[in-house]
């Protein structure tokens, strides 16, 4: 990514654009107060005239005000001082990034981290600046033939800090924010690509390419013969109706001693989910190209971890294939034997995510992981339960669930805990096999997670259902990169705790 974030210790005004915060009621932020003094009360006048109210995310661009060194001044509303916190900070930064990106400025200095943000340390504040500006610079890899609009000139953002010590912490924060931004961009790119391009083979190749770019990563893409040799009967059942060959993608990142147990991220990589013989309805079926977003986001998190050289070991396992109807496709009532040895009656071929994931989770056992977290666009029922605001979070370990939920809060990428348990497994009873792959409409997100739980027994395991958070529909259609921010925050904290 060409976008570069740096720290500006002395808070020089030499940048093309100075971004300063103004609270509501003419209550000036730290830098705004200084500029107001330098400019004979310019900002105070703007407020008195009713030209700038300081509501959260209000912006006003001023050209080269006399008395300041910056070529442009961007006022950003912070809302009432009393209510200024993490949410308002991020919102204001998003508005600023968007506004600066539309100007001719090549560089910007952000002064917002100087404001009173009680318990948010300067590293975190800088991290959010870099992440927000990186995300704002993201462009969808479209295949439109019309000439592309000119890219924004903005390529550098600095964070003003008041001490050398704060500047050092801010530098680390900016690095983290950029890495998260790049991880998000990778995940979004993979999600946004059309399913005739982003096939299991393509995903596998991108993983191999990632390993080339980052020597700390080793990757392999196992084909159908290898998947058969592993006896992944559930995974094979899903892929058997498709012309596209499947891939079991395995990436290993080494940042700690070999003896340190790795964290294992497992991603659902269905590059197109037609539903199979249990065919989906046509409306919005195109959005089932996003059914590989679990895979995309674990790769995005892996990339960020490699860039940050986190002192942890990380394994990524992705089960990737298409779910298609055909003469060779798996049928409702077919029974398969999973890698774990448990048999599954496939009553609905559209509940394919749990089938590929149960084998991927079993495969993950060979790494003797400290924790296994699977990430999947698993159920429409999760969207009914939580809408598009929270990812669903299920776990067999309350401490792990709490850790992931806290990471989601810090990263502004939240997840909400939902239950799993024997009651839900009861719904998955089969007369002919150990377990059925569907358990009725009621509690659909919980039965799906409870199915996986049966394969995660004795593992420290959590499941993120990202069906409602991985992409946006309508005119905003496109992948969001969630939950890369949550995952990377979790891994940064795991690295620090060691
Ligand atoms: N990939 C879908 C889940 C999904 C659906 C995500 C819509 C986002 C939007 C998954 O494979 C699926 O089809 N799940 C079924 C399960 C059902 C058959 C028990 C569902 O949610 O309808
Ligand atoms: Mn499905
Ligand atoms: Zn699916």
Q: How large is the average pLDDT for residues 357-369?
A: 99
The atom of ligand 1 lying closest to the CA of 280 is 13
Active site residue 139: no
CB 36 within 8 A of CB 28: yes
* Residue 469 Cβ contacting ligand 1 at under 6 Å: no
Structural domains for the chain: 2-166 (3.40.220.10), 183-497 (3.40.630.10)
CB of 444 closer than 6 angstroms to any ligand 1 atom:
yes
pLDDT in tens, 294-334: 999 999 999 999 999 999 999 999 999 999 999 999 999 99
Mean pLDDT of the chain: 95
Is 4 a residue whose pLDDT tops 70? no
pLDDT at 470 over 90: yes
- Measuring from atom 16 of ligand 1, which residue has the nearest CA? 351
pLDDT, residue 310, reads 98
pLDDT on residue 8: 60
Distance 336 CA to ligand 3 centre (A): 18
Query: From the CA of 321, how far away is ligand 3's center (Å)?
Result: 10
Distance of CA 4 to the CA centre of its chain: 20
- pLDDT of 38 strictly over 70: yes
Burial tier of 279 (Cβ tally within 10 Å: 0-12, 13-18, 19+): middle
Cα–Cα distance, 463 to 489 (Å, whole number): 16
Residues pairing with 490 in the sheet: none
Active-site residue among 45, 231, 280, 477? 280
* Ligand 1 centroid – CA 454 distance (Å): 19
Query: What are 486's two structure tokens?
Result: 């949550």
Strands 156-160 and 59-63: unpaired
Per-residue pLDDT, averaged over 46-66, amounts to 91
| Helix 164-192 / helix 484-497 crossing angle, nearest 10 deg | 140
DSSP annotation of 475: G
354 annotated active-site: yes
- Rounded distance from Cα 378 to ligand 3 centre (Å): 6
Helix (H) or strand (E) holding 318: strand 313-323
237 lines ligand 1 (CB under 6 A): no
Contact (CB, 8 A) for 209 and 186: no
- Omega before 483 within 30 of 0, i.e. cis: yes
pLDDT of residue 9 exceeding 60, the answer is: no
Determine whether the shortest distance from the Cβ of 285 to ligand 1 is under 6 A. no
């Amino acid at each position: 990514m060409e976008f570069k974030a740096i720290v500006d210790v002395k808070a020089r005004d030499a940048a093309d654009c100075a971004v300063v915060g103004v609270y509501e009621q003419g209550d000036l932020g730290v830098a705004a107060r200084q500029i107001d003094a330098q400019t004979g009360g310019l900002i105070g006048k703007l407020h008195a005239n009713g030209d700038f109210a300081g509501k959260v995310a209000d912006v006003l661009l001023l050209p080269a005000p006399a008395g300041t060194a910056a070529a442009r001044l961007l006022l950003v509303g912070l809302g009432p001082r009393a209510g200024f916190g993490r949410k308002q900070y991020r919102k204001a930064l998003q508005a600023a990034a968007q506004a600066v990106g539309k100007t001719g400025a090549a560089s910007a200095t952000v002064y917002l981290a100087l404001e009173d943000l009680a318990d948010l340390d300067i590293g975190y504040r800088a991290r959010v600046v870099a992440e927000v500006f990186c995300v704002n610079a993201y462009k969808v890899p479209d295949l439109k033939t019309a000439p592309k609009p000119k890219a924004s000139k903005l390529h550098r953002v600095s964070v003003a800090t008041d001490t050398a010590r704060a500047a050092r912490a801010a530098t680390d924060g900016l690095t983290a924010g950029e890495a998260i931004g790049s991880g998000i961009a990778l995940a979004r790119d993979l999600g946004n690509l059309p399913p005739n391009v982003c096939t299991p083979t393509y995903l596998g190749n991108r993983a191999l390419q990632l390993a080339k770019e980052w020597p700390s990563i080793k990757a392999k893409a196992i084909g159908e013969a290898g998947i058969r040799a592993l006896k992944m009967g559930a995974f094979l059942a899903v892929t058997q109706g498709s012309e596209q060959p499947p891939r079991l993608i395995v990436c290993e990142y080494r940042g700690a001693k070999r003896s340190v147990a790795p964290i294992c991220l497992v991603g659902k990589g269905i590059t197109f989910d037609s539903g199979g013989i249990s065919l989906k309805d046509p409306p919005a079926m195109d959005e089932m190209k996003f059914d590989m977003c679990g895979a995309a986001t674990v790769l995005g998190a892996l990339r960020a971890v490699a860039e940050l050289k986190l002192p942890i070991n990380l394994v990524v396992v992705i089960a990737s294939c298409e779910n298609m109807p055909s003469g060779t496709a798996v049928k409702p009532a077919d029974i398969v034997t999973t890698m774990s040895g448990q048999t599954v009656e496939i009553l609905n071929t559209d509940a394919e995510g749990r089938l590929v994931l149960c084998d991927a989770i079993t495969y993950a056992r060979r790494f003797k992981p400290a924790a296994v977290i699977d990430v999947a666009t698993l159920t429409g029922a999760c969207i009914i339960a939580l809408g598009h605001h929270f990812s669903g979070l299920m776990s067999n370990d309350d401490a792990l669930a709490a850790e992931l939920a806290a990471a989601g809060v810090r990263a502004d990428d939240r997840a909400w805990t939902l239950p799993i348990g024997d009651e839900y497994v009861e719904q998955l009873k089969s007369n002919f096999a150990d377990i059925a792959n569907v358990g009725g409409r009621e509690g659909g997100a919980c039965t799906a997670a409870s199915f996986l739980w049966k394969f995660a027994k004795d593992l420290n395991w959590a499941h993120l259902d990202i069906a409602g958070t991985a992409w946006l529909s309508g005119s905003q259609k496109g992948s969001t990169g969630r939950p890369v921010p949550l995952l990377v925050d979790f891994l940064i904290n795991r690295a620090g705790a060691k």
